Amino acid sequence: MPTPGTFKRRELRFSTLPENQTQRALILLRGLDGLRVERIEGRRALSVSYDIFDYTLEGLEEALMQQGFHLDNSLFSKLMRALIRYCEQTQLHTLRSPQRLIKKSNEVYVKAWEHHLHGDHDDTPPELREYK
């Protein structure tokens, strides 16, 4: 079972040429474990669902392009791909980072405060501290 928030549903859009590449990509991608693929009727697109610990949209697109598939290169598609890539990379980086314990995060500041002179740790002699 995927971690909440890591299961993604994305859309792969293909160029008009070459023909039938959507169907060929559907057959190719259905052979991958942990990846759900459905054809979007009436469009040159596939709906893919995956856990980002297993796949990323960037990885799927690069694999398809290496196999000779042509993705839609409209401005909208390019912007969406860039945004999705950024979000997935950021989420993966965050999830793979070691967890910080919230209760212990203030220990750094406590130790730093202990080493600073403050309060009655003044080195000024008492006779110079009094106003006469």
**Where residue 76 sits, what CATH number does that domain have?**
3.30.70.100
> Rounded to whole angstroms, how far apart are CA atoms 17 and 27?
18
Percent of the chain with pLDDT over 70: 86
Q: Is the pLDDT of residue 14 over 80?
A: yes
Instruction: Give me the pLDDT at residue 34, please.
Output: 94
Give a yes or no: residue 131 inside a domain: no
For residue 12, being part of any structural domain is answered with: yes
Asked if residue 1 has pLDDT above 60, the reply is no
Mean pLDDT of the chain: 87
What's the CA gap between 32 and 129, in Å, rounded?
78
What would the mean pLDDT of 48-57 be, rounded to a whole number? 96
> Is residue 46, in this structure, part of any structural domain at all?
yes
pLDDT at 121 over 70: no
Question: Is position 130 within any domain?
Answer: no
Quick one: average pLDDT of 66-71? Answer: 96
Domain that holds residue 23: 7-96
Domain membership flag for residue 83: yes
Residue (of 91, 94, 55) closest to 12 by Cα position: 55
Q: Is residue 118 part of a domain?
A: no
How many domains, in total, are found in the chain? 1
pTM of this structure? 0.71
Q: How confident is the model over 34-63, as a mean pLDDT?
A: 95
The beta strands (E) that lie in 1-132 are given as 7-13, 36-40, 45-51
pLDDT in tens, 16-34: 988 899 999 999 999 999 9
pLDDT number for residue 108 = 72
